[in-house]
Amino acid sequence: MPPPTPPRLLAVLSAVLVLVAALVVHALPARADAGFRVEDGRLVDAAGNDFVIRGVSHAHTWYPQEAGSLADIKSLGANAVRVVLSSGDRWTENDAGDVADVVDRCVANRLICVLEVHDTTGYGEQAGAATLDQAVDYWLRVRDAVEGREEHVLVNIGNEPFGNDEAANEHWAGDTSRAIDRLRDAGFDHTLVVDAPNWGQDWRGTMRREAQGVFDSDPHANTVFSVHMYGVYEQESTVVDYMESFVDAGLPLIVGEFGHDHSDGDPDEAAVMEHAQRLGLGYVGWSWSGNSGGVEYLDMVEDFDATRLTPWGERIFHGPDGIAETAVEAPVYGGGGGPTDPPTDGPTGPPADADCTAAYAVVREWQGGFQAEVAVTAGADLDGWTVRWSLPAGEGIAQVWNAAVSTSGSRVTAVDAGYNAVLPEGATTAFGFTGTRQGPAEVPGLACDAGS
């Protein structure tokens, strides 16, 4: 047993320890308490309000003179912009000063900045493509431009960081986890966005299989997965299957790129937008303007002129489930998350002498979601029934049981599941679902009809 330490020496040691602790706290940036985070598979802000990305990509690194595009993108209703940057490995590097200016412009235009390094595109297949390690090196060089901006910036580590080379793609999970670790070790507290392999389309299912392990490797549990939906997603069923696999697993997903056409096939952009809205998932269309090399049809506006929308621009901004119809401004700018009118007391529905009536009840609510039940009562003998309603603003439907549910924009149609179609007069059956919400869950008005 060592001899006791003299009291004066104890006082000196205590003072030294306090000073060292203060220096350490100052040297290590604290985890941002105002930034975005992932909660229960959803992207939320510091207060727990859902934020569903509705935006487009802008090729800043190739068109730095078009910085006014951010204001134009906002003017058409977007709540986010995915900004193309270069690490200098393939194109001219966007330095810290340039990145800081981009972020300032995003904030000035009340947009969330999703910053991405494009040089990684197609690594393993595309000659000259940068590695995720090189992308991280770049993020460390521009760290000062984004530090403390966690409430305005998401860091998309590298665009489409693997092509279709199978041997290279085997390293997707390990390389992605290491990139996350390096950024966290360097003090990046931002929500990180990671792209799928196979040029972002994940047609071999690598990200789908290994996403949980990658998510678990993030010490902040704050990583969002991004799939790019082009020709691989020609069928609505393919779109739905991929999206729902992440929702069912409780993992955060956005459609980080998609278009209305592509050289590798004809993506079902209507399905992408409809089911992203239904499931409460973010989407980012490619791209504002300046496409070349045979994909000019992906321009949303001609020559960066917001008054000259192309057919693709009209579709994504003003079409069903489009940006103008579905975007909610980020809570940090005062949008979303605020109080809404409380649910009405008791169910609503058609008169009791109808063929059937439907009563809607909110069973429970949690941050960003809720569970509802709809009771269907036969006013006469039924052989099939259909219930219709309109989704309140900010709500979406996730999992459903005891009915077949489809949506078109905000319109919802629920049809009996077959085994519960036949109801004698006065009998009741019920179906239920979980949904997403941005405010308190509301009780909508319902219409119930005989037949399915």
Q: Are strands 356-366 and 282-285 parallel, antiparallel or unpaired?
A: unpaired
pLDDT at 264 over 90: no
pLDDT at 4 over 50: no
Catalytic center residues:
160, 257
Q: What is the pTM of this model?
A: 0.70
What confidence tens digit (pLDDT) does each residue in 88-147 have?
999 999 999 999 999 999 999 999 999 999 999 999 999 999 999 999 999 999 999 999
What confidence tens digit (pLDDT) does each residue in 28-56 have?
333 445 699 999 999 999 888 899 999 99
Distance in angstroms (rounded) separating the CA atoms of residues 75 and 77: 5
pLDDT, the chain, mean? 88
Distance in angstroms (rounded) separating the CA atoms of residues 311 and 323: 14
The band of 353, judged by pLDDT with boundaries at 50, 70 and 90, is: very low
Distance in angstroms (rounded) separating the CA atoms of residues 212 and 249: 8
Distance in angstroms (rounded) separating the CA atoms of residues 384 and 398: 23
Q: What pLDDT is attached to residue 171?
A: 97
Q: What pLDDT is attached to residue 437?
A: 86
